[in-house]
Amino acid sequence: MKNNEHSTPVLVIGAGIAGIEASLLLANSGRKVYLVEKASYFGGNVIKFEEVFPNMECATCMIAPKQQELLQNENIELLTLSQVQAVQGSAGDFTVKVKKKARYVDLENCIGCSACFEPCPVEIDNEFEQGFSKRKAIYIPCAGALPNVPAIDTENCLRFKGEDCQLCQEACMFEAIDYTQQDEELELKVGAILVATGFKSLDLSKTNRYGYRKFSNVYSDIEIERICASNGPTQGQIVLRDGETPKSVAIIHCVGREEKGYCSSVCCMSSIKLAHFLKKKLPEVKITQFYSDLCIPGRTYQRFYEEVRESGVDFIRARVNEVAEQGKELAIKYKTEDSKENTLNVDMLILAPALEPEADSDKLAEMLSIPQGDGGFFTEEKPDLDSSVGTLKDGIFVAGCIQGPKDIPDTVAQAEAAVGRILSLSR
């Protein structure tokens, strides 16, 4: 589909599921798209999950064809390791400054053979794998990440710290590693901007909430997602830190809900999904979920919840007051609504924290002059009375969790709606 010379390009910020969907629709209509992504790979949060609710579909299988299509689409320029620095102008005529960090690996020459990883002497915790495995200073975050081209992490790379190491370059057969690459400052002229920068989980480590980062076997839900992943650090084996298989698991919903002041929409379902997955992998495991209100509004969500409950997972409406370590186990002290107190001992505790806007959102909001409302999420134009993809700034749209926590169907609908708004503007 050739570029339509009469329409201006569109900037999409964030290459998660919303950014990908919007970019493909815009590109297929003939528009040029600049898809700016700050990470070295794209796919956002969805590619971290093994399965997604409610049908337990394989997340990577679901999104891979779209990613492939995107990489091959001539109208989409994917700019990884890139962040928006400044925005000027108005609808139809924005000038956007983007800083594109150097990857130090040539995207054209690299064939993704991973020969450069082995010789690298630096080993660091792999953030994508939530620290469960290590990566090198030249790395891709996980098997199957796209584009299948590594990046050099200049903070940990010996060469970039002043040492004379060129082991990765020596190992490369294709002259793909280029230490002389420079960061670039790009100036893009676009007619519309779509912000789709997504979410992150509330950071539990600062408060050691419920023993997180204090006791061995307390995990956040995103950490368990990587443990469940077949392309993850344990290839999908469910194990505790000492390698043992857990016999009992507890999941606490709504972690951080009180201080955040809102319900994060998806955590009940994703917790139920995790329980379903764990039960499938470990049929004998005993799972107990602690929640305050069950938020399962989707069509088939209740059915799924009932199935999981019938499979032997306990759901207890209670407030968890304290988690203590008792030998190898975790003692969960909770109080039910009739004020009765009780304790449950488990091997593994999973926390489902609140969802927040992705890091650096404040800066982005300021750059775009978009107000942030409750929770720091971007405010839509007319809350409740109109579409939630329009903002108070003409020509700037939002889609996905940056506008508020939501599930994948609502995210994709917003991305498509933003495209609807953008395409109808250009007449």
Partner 1 sequence: MAKKIGVYVCECGTNIADNVDIDRVIETVSPLRDVELVEKYRLLCSEDGKEFLKQSIQEHGLTHLVVAACSPKQHELTFMNICEAAGLNPYLFQMINIREQCAWVTLDKEEATGKAIRQIKAAIARVRYHNPLEKKEMDVCPDVLVVGGGIAGIKASQLLASPDRKVYLAEKTSYLGGKVKGFDKLFTNMESGSALIEQELKKLQGNENIEVLTDTEVEQILGFFGNFEARVIKKAENEELNLSVGAVVLATGFDLLDPAGLSQYGYGELDDVCTSMEFEAMNIPGGATGGKVLLKNGKPPKSVAIIHCVGREEKGYCSRVCCLYSFKFARMLKSQLPEVKVSHFYSDLCIPGKSYQKFYEETKGLGIEFVRAGKTKVAQNGKGMAVKYETERGQEGESATDMVILVSAMEPSSDTNKLAQLLGIPLDDEGFLAREHQLLAPVDSSVSGVFVVGCAQGPQNISESIVQSEAAAGKILSSLVPGRKLELEVRTSEISETFCSGCKTCISVCPYSAITFDEARGIAVVNEALCHGCGACAAACPSGAASLKGFTFTQIYEEIATLVR
Partner 2 sequence: MQEEFTPRIVGFLCNWCSYAGADLAGATKQKVPASLSVIKVMCSGRVEPVLIATAYFRGADGVLVAGCHPGDCHYREGNYYARRRFALLEKTIETLGLEPERLMLAWVSASEGQRFSEVTDQFAGRIKQMGPSPLKKALL
Using CB under 8 A as the binding rule, the residues of this chain from 229 to 258 that contact partner 2 are 229-231, 235
Q: What residue 231 binds from partner 2, partner 1, none (CB within 5 to 8 A, per partner kind)? A: partner 2
Question: Shortest approach of partner 2 to residue 75 CB, angstroms?
Answer: 23
What Rg value do the Cα atoms of the chain yield, rounded? 23
> Could you tell me where the beta strands, DSSP code E, fall in 108-247?
124-125, 134-135, 138-139, 151-152, 184-190, 192-195, 199-201, 218-220
All residues at 6 or more sequence positions from 57 whose CB lies less than 8 Å from its CB, including other chains: 51
Q: State which of residues 28, 85, 109, 114 lies at the interface with partner 2 (CB under 8 A).
A: 114
Q: What residue 77 binds from partner 2, partner 1, none (CB within 5 to 8 A, per partner kind)? A: none
Q: What residue 310 binds from partner 2, partner 1, none (CB within 5 to 8 A, per partner kind)? A: none
Q: What residue 235 binds from partner 1, partner 2, none (CB within 5 to 8 A, per partner kind)? A: partner 2
| Phi, psi (degrees; rounded to nearest 5) at 199 | -130, 165
Dihedral angle over CA of 54, 56, 58, 62, nearest 10? -30
267-281 and 301-310 helices, crossing angle to 10°: 40
* Contact between residue 357 and residue 376 where contact means Cβ atoms under 8 Å apart: yes
Question: Shortest approach of partner 2 to residue 215 CB, angstroms?
Answer: 30
Question: Shortest approach of partner 1 to residue 199 CB, angstroms?
Answer: 11
- For 110, the token pair is 């690299």
Binding to partner 2 in span 213-232, by CB under 8 A? 229-231
Q: What residue 383 binds from partner 2, partner 1, none (CB within 5 to 8 A, per partner kind)? A: partner 1
By C-beta, is 219 or 301 nearer to partner 1? 301
By C-beta, is 304 or 377 nearer to partner 2? 304
Whole-Å CA distances, 126 to 117, 137, 142, 271 = 13, 10, 9, 24
By C-beta, is 117 or 160 nearer to partner 2? 117
* Contact between residue 220 and residue 205 where contact means Cβ atoms under 8 Å apart: no
Binding to partner 2 in span 61-80, by CB under 8 A? 61-62, 64-65
58 binds partner 2 (CB under 8 A): yes
143 binds partner 2 (CB under 8 A): yes
Binding to partner 2 in span 374-413, by CB under 8 A? none
Question: Shortest approach of partner 1 to residue 241 CB, angstroms?
Answer: 32
300 binds partner 2 (CB under 8 A): no
By C-beta, is 10 or 228 nearer to partner 2? 228
Three-class DSSP category at 9 = coil
- For 283, the token pair is 């049929």
Question: Shortest approach of partner 1 to residue 113 CB, angstroms?
Answer: 5
Three-class DSSP category at 217 = coil
By C-beta, is 231 or 245 nearer to partner 2? 231
By C-beta, is 55 or 180 nearer to partner 2? 55
Q: What residue 16 binds from partner 1, partner 2, none (CB within 5 to 8 A, per partner kind)? A: none
By C-beta, is 237 or 345 nearer to partner 2? 237
- For 172, the token pair is 């490369």
* Contact between residue 19 and residue 68 where contact means Cβ atoms under 8 Å apart: no
Q: State which of residues 148, 166, 248, 387 lies at the interface with partner 2 (CB under 8 A).
A: 148
What x-and-dash track marks residues 78-97 binding partner 2 by CB under 8 A? --------------------
* Contact between residue 380 and residue 390 where contact means Cβ atoms under 8 Å apart: yes
* Contact between residue 248 and residue 286 where contact means Cβ atoms under 8 Å apart: yes
Question: Shortest approach of partner 2 to residue 159 CB, angstroms?
Answer: 26
What does the DSSP 8-state code read for residue 53? T
Q: What residue 61 binds from partner 2, partner 1, none (CB within 5 to 8 A, per partner kind)? A: partner 2
Question: Shortest approach of partner 1 to residue 53 CB, angstroms?
Answer: 9
Q: What residue 160 binds from partner 1, partner 2, none (CB within 5 to 8 A, per partner kind)? A: none
By C-beta, is 41 or 315 nearer to partner 2? 41
Q: How far apart are CA 201 and CA 180, in angstroms?
A: 36
DSSP bridge partners of 351: 220, 252
CB atoms within 10 A of CB 159: 19
> Cis peptide before 54, with omega less than 30 degrees from 0?
yes
Cα atoms in the 13 Å half-sphere on the side-chain side of 281: 21
* Contact between residue 21 and residue 44 where contact means Cβ atoms under 8 Å apart: no
55 binds partner 2 (CB under 8 A): yes
Residues of the shown chain interacting with partner 2 in the complex, contacts defined by CB under 8 A: 50, 55-58, 60-62, 64-65, 112, 114, 143-144, 148, 229-231, 235
